[in-house]
Structure 1
Amino acid sequence: MKLSVLGPAGTFTDMAAKAYLQTQPNAQITLDYHPTFDQVYQAVSGNDLGLLPLENQLDGYVSATLQRLQSADVTEIGEITIPVDFGLVSNVSDLSQIKRLYVQFKTEGQCQVLITQLPSVQIITTASNMISLEKFQTGQLGDAAIIPQSQLAEVSGALKLNHVADQRDNSTRFILFKANPASLEMLSQTSLTADYFKAPLFITPAINDRPGTLYEILGYFAKANLNLVTLMSLPTKSQLGMYAFYLEVSGHRKQQEVLFTTLQELASKYQVHLLGYYAV
């Protein structure tokens, strides 16, 4: 079995993947690295799994992941959360001498206190923290990079700063998924051994939107005493001003039948795209 992840090795996604492997000591799983979100999705087929970042404690949800989940035929089977921390390395001896800063697109939002101290520095966004490191190592005088704190000791640089995230208590949540699409029938047939579940899904209203639509949708969950731990809106991309709602529902496994009935009721009026049902 393959576990496809964002590469290269050394990224936080790689760390999350290895943390997951530790929970599966008897499984024969090899890590399969890819440079982009799309390539991770495309690589997952059959019994293989994929892993992508979903939410950071400081910078919120990863839109690149949500946008793919919105239309992807996948089933989320679990999640894993790991602590994240960052350091800065530069080939000059003072912050004032830095000319270019390489930083991963999601890392940038987690290190704003530091970055605002560098108003004249050119910010170059990268696809991964390890690419930031590679760009720095092959760069020019005046370059710097924000990289995982765990990599900082192994990197040469005239200036190194530890723990440059906006706060030390910082973590990122990742989702594990497989290729076949989730369905309400799958939910009704799944039996969890853990006490609590999470069910992520998208709900898309009809084109003839009207006042009170979101209020009505939320009422289904309130009536069923199902807890919503996430609520976000994303454009459907089919028409300007049309949005779908991303929700994560949590509850006790004794509420599985209530969840199933509630989603069936919602599906009779709205487009419901269930993404999974798993233990937490």
Structure 2
Amino acid sequence: MKFSVLGPAGTFADAAAHAYLLAHPINNVEIDYHATFDQVYQAVEPDGIGLLPLENQLDGFVLATLQRLQVADVTEIGEVTVPVNFGLAGRVNRLADIKRIFVQFKTEGQCQKLLSQLPDAQIITTSSNMISVSKLRHGVDGDAAIIPQSQLAVQAFPFKLDNVADQDNNATRFIVFKKQPATLTMPARPVEDATAMFKFPLFVTPPTEEPGVLHQILTYPTDAHLNLVTIMSLPTRQKIGIYSFYIEISGTFAQRQVLFETLNQMAQVYTLHPLGFYAV
């Protein structure tokens, strides 16, 4: 079975995939690396799984993943959070000598303090942190890159700085998914621990934009005593002012019947795009 992730090997996505497999062992699994979010999604086979970054502690939600989830027929089966930290490596002798710097698009928002010290350096955005490493390896004098902290010890560059993220206790949450549509049907399997926690992510799209529509949506999980842990709005792209709301509902497995009853009530009023039910 293939496990499709953002690559190449050594990325935080790679670390997240191995962390997930450590917690959820799968026989005969092969890590399948791809350069972009879309390639990861497209590569997931019928019997395979994929992994994409969803949320960073410092820089918030990953818009590219949310936009894919908004229209994709996927079932999330789990999530994994891994620590994230960065170092700076360069073909320079000092920080002031940096003329251009390679930075993964999401990493940039997590290292603003460092980048503010380089106002004259050209920032070149990359699709993965390991591509930043590769760009620097094949670069010229004056080049630098923000790379995974773990890579500083194995890369031979004349200038290095440790721990350049804006905050030491940084982390990224990844989702693991299958390429099949999720449903609003309660899983039939028995629950061994009714106190164990679940998460159910979905998109909710109201038929029209009107005052109080978000409040109306939120009353459903509130009245059912379900915990709303996330809410984000994304445009539907059909008309200005009409938004779809990404939400994550959490609760205990003892509440799963009320969860699905609530979701089916909501489906009578709104367009729901479910994304799966899994333990956390």
| TM-score for both structures, normalised by structure 1 | 0.97
Deviations 1:176-197 (A, max 9, x none): 0001110012x34354445110
Report matched runs for 1:187-206 at 5 Å.
Answer: 187-193=186-192, 195-206=196-207
Q: Secondary structure at the match of 2:234?
A: strand
Q: Secondary structure at the match of 1:160?
A: strand
What is the rounded CA distance, in whole Å, between the counterparts of 2:164 and 2:68 in structure 1?
30
- The one-letter amino acid paired with 1:149 is Q
- The one-letter amino acid paired with 2:200 is A
- The one-letter amino acid paired with 1:111 is C
Which residue is equivalent to 1:88?
A: 88
Which residue is equivalent to 2:153?
A: 153
Contact residue 2 and residue 45 of structure 2 kept, 8 A: no
What is the rounded CA distance, in whole Å, between the counterparts of 2:218 and 2:46 in structure 1?
35
Which residue is equivalent to 2:235?
A: 235
What is the rounded CA distance, in whole Å, between the counterparts of 1:171 and 1:138 in structure 2?
29
Which residue is equivalent to 1:53?
A: 53
- Provide structure 2 residue ranges, at least 5 long, that are not aligned to the other structure: none
Which residue is equivalent to 2:268?
A: 268
Q: Secondary structure at the match of 2:71?
A: coil
Does residue 78 (structure 1) correspond to residue 75 (structure 2)? The answer is no
Which residue is equivalent to 2:9?
A: 9
Deviations 1:85-141 (A, max 9, x none): 100001111111100010000000110111111111100110000010111111111
Size of the aligned set, in residue pairs, is 278
What is the rounded CA distance, in whole Å, between the counterparts of 2:88 and 2:276 in structure 1?
38
Flag the 1:248–1:264 CA change in 2: closer, same or farther, 3 A. Answer: same
Contact residue 55 and residue 174 of structure 1 kept, 8 A: yes
Contact residue 188 and residue 257 of structure 1 kept, 8 A: no
Which residue is equivalent to 2:118?
A: 118
Contact residue 209 and residue 241 of structure 2 kept, 8 A: no
Which residue is equivalent to 1:166?
A: 166
What is the rounded CA distance, in whole Å, between the counterparts of 1:188 and 1:161 in structure 2?
49
- The one-letter amino acid paired with 2:201 is P
What is the rounded CA distance, in whole Å, between the counterparts of 1:75 and 1:193 in structure 2?
22
The Cα shift of 1:45 comes to 2.4
Flag the 1:217–1:190 CA change in 2: closer, same or farther, 3 A. Answer: farther
What is the rounded CA distance, in whole Å, between the counterparts of 1:18 and 1:50 in structure 2?
12
Contact residue 192 and residue 279 of structure 1 kept, 8 A: no
Flag the 1:68–1:191 CA change in 2: closer, same or farther, 3 A. Answer: farther
Q: Secondary structure at the match of 1:21?
A: helix
What is the rounded CA distance, in whole Å, between the counterparts of 2:60 and 2:190 in structure 1?
31
- The one-letter amino acid paired with 1:96 is A
What is the rounded CA distance, in whole Å, between the counterparts of 2:25 and 2:95 in structure 1?
45
Q: Secondary structure at the match of 2:177?
A: strand
What is the rounded CA distance, in whole Å, between the counterparts of 2:241 and 2:120 in structure 1?
36
The Cα shift of 1:26 comes to 5.3
Does residue 216 (structure 1) correspond to residue 216 (structure 2)? The answer is yes
Flag the 1:62–1:191 CA change in 2: closer, same or farther, 3 A. Answer: farther
- The one-letter amino acid paired with 1:148 is P
Q: What is the percentage of aligned positions where both structures have the same residue?
A: 60
Which residue is equivalent to 1:19?
A: 19
- The one-letter amino acid paired with 1:103 is V
| TM-score for both structures, normalised by structure 2 | 0.97
Contact residue 21 and residue 29 of structure 1 kept, 8 A: no
- The one-letter amino acid paired with 1:246 is Y
- The one-letter amino acid paired with 2:222 is A
CA RMSD of aligned residues (A): 1.1
Flag the 1:26–1:182 CA change in 2: closer, same or farther, 3 A. Answer: closer
What is the rounded CA distance, in whole Å, between the counterparts of 2:230 and 2:11 in structure 1?
26
